[in-house]
A and B are shown apart, each in its own frame.
Chain A
Amino acid sequence: MRKPISILISGVGGQGILTLAEIVGRALIKSGYVAKATEVHGLAQRGGVVVSHIKAANYEVSPMVAPGMADLIIGLELIETVRLARYINKETVVLANKKVIPPVLPGVDVPDPGELISRLKRVSHRVYLVEASAIARRIYGEQITNMVMLGALSGLGALPISRELYIEAMYERLPEKYIEVNLKAFEAGEKAVKNLY
């Protein structure tokens, strides 16, 4: 393969983006790829932008994704998903959580979800939306939104990773006592995305 699989995961600090990225990276390695994951974020404070770059190929990949080269965007927050527009091409799969977290700025105009979604549809034909935060809240709390998204990713089949290997990677990465609730989140994500077909 020449072009590496290129994935971006974005959201706001505290949404569990790095954990999600690590699980996807582990699952890629289990699937036989040389995978690399790196994150871009500001200072160690809450509420900042977090973007994780993941790449995989059969050779030593570089850590960052180039403009127009994303195969997959996983957005845990809509503003931060749209902010990645420069990485998206028409064929990029955009899997986004239907959730807006307003930036904490006085007097800021927060775009509404519908408007943000139509912006995404301008750049990609393949936009999939999941109410991941709402689903997570129903099961346990918003802390597990990231695993709802992982389940949605598995259900969508957007990456050459089997369901079993996603779950194996979850077991490897998550504390044992939280596995059960995270598996529930995963399954709910899978189901949510099935309804989109």
Chain B
Amino acid sequence: MTRRELLGEAGQLAFLLGNEAVARGALEAGMTFAAAYPGTPSTEVIEALISVSREVGIHVEWSSNEKVAYEAAVAASMSGHRAMAVMKHVGLNVASDPFMSSAYAGVNGGLVLVVADDPSMHSSQNEQDSRIYGLHGYVPILEPSSPQECKDYAKLAFELSERYDLPVMVRLATRVSHARGPVRLGVLSRRRVEGKFLKDPNKWSMIPSVARRRRISLLERFRRVSEEVEELEINAIFGDGVKLGVITAGVAYPYVVEAIKLLDIEDKVRVFKLGMTHPLPRRAISRFLESVERVLVVEELEPFLETGIKVIAFEEGLAKEIHGKDLVPVHFELTPERVTRALAMVMGLKPPVDYDRYEEVGSSVSGDLPPRPPVMCPGCPHRASFFALKRALRREGVRSFIASSDIGCYALGFFPPYELADMLYDMGSSIGIGYGLAKSQKEFVVSIIGDSTFFHAGLPAVVNAVYNRAPLLIMVLDNYITAMTGQQPHPGTGVTATGEETKRLSIADVSRGLGVEYVVEGDPLKVVEFQKLIQGAIRYVREQGKPAVVVARSPCVLYELRRLRRLGVRPKLYGVIPEECTGCRVCVDHFACPAISMVGDKAFIDPELCTGCGACTYACPFNAIVEVPRP
């Protein structure tokens, strides 16, 4: 099992996810403090560390957001810990404020930022190339290409951080984070730190006079990295062909290796694989450019290396044909066919496989298959909340309204029949944008936000809506955990990442504390009662012109089913009384639980899928749905 392998003996060959390998590398480096906010594809780094935290005696936490996580890691570094903050690309936007200052101040114990990009947006609202933050912040970047390098580079990152007095970024991407591969384990560190802060305001306090000195110091520290990167062993050249030079890094590297094999051009190509992609080794790149006839830069997302390399070529007066994003698309993930095509093109060869023909045949064979789009799980309390919300609005005569949604499973409310996501930008934006809409136009506005997201970035927007007084209905869907990323605890859960009991922050209390005067909470699975609560809040918002908060409290069904299984309790089961069912389709078309379908002209509940939430009993206008015994 993975957990056993995470603490495996030196020399052992483990089979780890890239993210797990990062965790192992940190343990080999003697990292003793890790903080993060969950986000795909970065989450497993911390989950791996949590699974061993007690045994190895390190601090691991889910912080309330990435800014706070990064600040906590900065402080642990100040206190002498080797510390790590982990996040997804959009998390770094949130953490960018302390990130920029952290390079000015530098470190005491090694400080490593692990950031995982999500090209193709498998589970994100945008694509970002986090390397651009490294460029912006004068933070060196390491880009591992395999689980083995994830481990090795994570360890190296701590050493480099201390050597240069700079935070170091380890940049991952989905196909590095979520690829499982062989990892030869190194020696686990026994280094444990008490933590002691030595005052040095001239290093840590960025008042303007200090910041100006640290800015100069930052440029000097970074210049030293730029000098020494020329000798760094993880920047390596493979092959001795002269027709084509490929410069690549990280996730792109194995695609390049494979394309060279498939095209059978090993004797014509030489590859410069950069382990550190910022700063670039200027002299080594110049020599490489001179050694080959033409150059192809292969990288995922933005032309980060390409731009830097073109600048070097220009400044060194090297007139060289340099290809990059003209042949490798800037958008979405790399694929073997994308990279093979680019190499074939630049070498004047035909790709070894007619990919287009397979795409064509494939779509003719499978193009008309019914899709399997993401849907909210059977028994998901969000469905009941949505159903109650729409009915409450209708009952209160709100014919048209605007629904401002947020980051979480409830973003699936975008799809019919709910259609409750008229806009969606970023964590907490449902309230910030909902506020702006309430102030800038006349239609009724409801903000829909999850519990973890509310704590993450919703709070300042609530304050603003109270302060600037907006008629806004804020509906918080509290399912007790951070569901979408795999059920991590948050400040409203009552336990920490490592399972210790702690204060459970009540969203209703927090909202009252922030000045919201109308706050109610209820169980959305009791649809009718809950709908009435929402109706009361709608009336308040319209009459008083102030924000109201409705908290829908019901656990994520996956979490609840696991709890029931542990208790040995079988979930309830509901069924349709055929004689009572009129075939009106309200349950199928408006409630739309995956467990309910029409069989002939009657509704049918699939006992394999039903989780016993019972919300559909309220949805049925003819009381045809009742609890039945589980067979």
Give the B-binding residues of A (Cβ under 8 A): 2-4, 12, 21-22, 25-26, 29, 34-49, 57, 59-69, 79-80, 82-89, 102-106, 108-111, 119, 122-123, 172-173, 175
Contact = CB atoms under 8 A, between A and B. Distances in A.
B336 A64 contact: yes
Interface string B318-348: 0000000000000001011101100000000
B505 interface: no
Interface stretch (B188-196, B362-370, B419-427): B362-370
Contact of B257 (A44, A60, A69): A60
Contact of B254 (A37, A60, A65): A60
B202 to A, nearest CB: 46
24 contacts: A2-B261, A2-B264, A3-B261, A12-B372, A25-B15, A25-B180, A35-B182, A36-B180, A36-B254, A43-B412, A44-B409, A45-B374, A47-B372, A57-B261, A59-B261, A61-B257, A63-B179, A63-B254, A64-B335, A65-B336, A84-B362, A103-B372, A106-B597, A109-B370
Contacts of B609: 104
Nearest to B339: A62
The residue in B146, B369, B375 that gathers the most chain A C-beta atoms within 10 A of its C-beta is: B369
B180 A37 contact: yes
Contacts of A106: 588-589, 592, 597-598
> Chain B interface residue count: which class?
35 or more
Classify the secondary structure of A's interface with B.
loop
Nearest to A79: B369
Contacts, number: 174
Given A29-B15, A48-B372, A80-B372, A61 B365 contact: no
A68 B257 CA distance: 19
A61 B358 contact: no
B175 interface: yes
Interface of B: 1, 13, 15, 40, 122-123, 145-146, 175, 178-182, 253-255, 257-258, 261-262, 264, 333, 335-337, 339-340, 353-355, 357-359, 361-363, 365-366, 369-378, 409, 412, 483-486, 558, 588-589, 592, 594, 597-598, 609
Given A45-B376, A61-B254, A34 B369 contact: no
Nearest to A52: B180
Contact of B361 (A35, A85, A104, A110): A85
A8 B440 CA distance: 51
Given A25-B15, A69-B353, A106-B597, A62 B376 contact: no
A43 B365 contact: no
A149 B594 CA distance: 27
A67 B359 contact: yes
B181 A35 contact: yes
A62 B484 contact: no
Contacts of B258: 4, 57, 59, 61-62
B204 to A, nearest CB: 39
Contacts of B339: 62
Given A66-B355, A68-B354, A105 B182 contact: no
Contacts of A40: 122
Given A34-B182, A62-B254, A46 B377 contact: yes
Nearest to B358: A68
Contact of B362 (A26, A64, A85, A104): A85
Contacts of A82: 365-366, 369
The residue in A34, A65, A85, A103 that gathers the most chain B C-beta atoms within 10 A of its C-beta is: A85
A82 B371 CA distance: 12
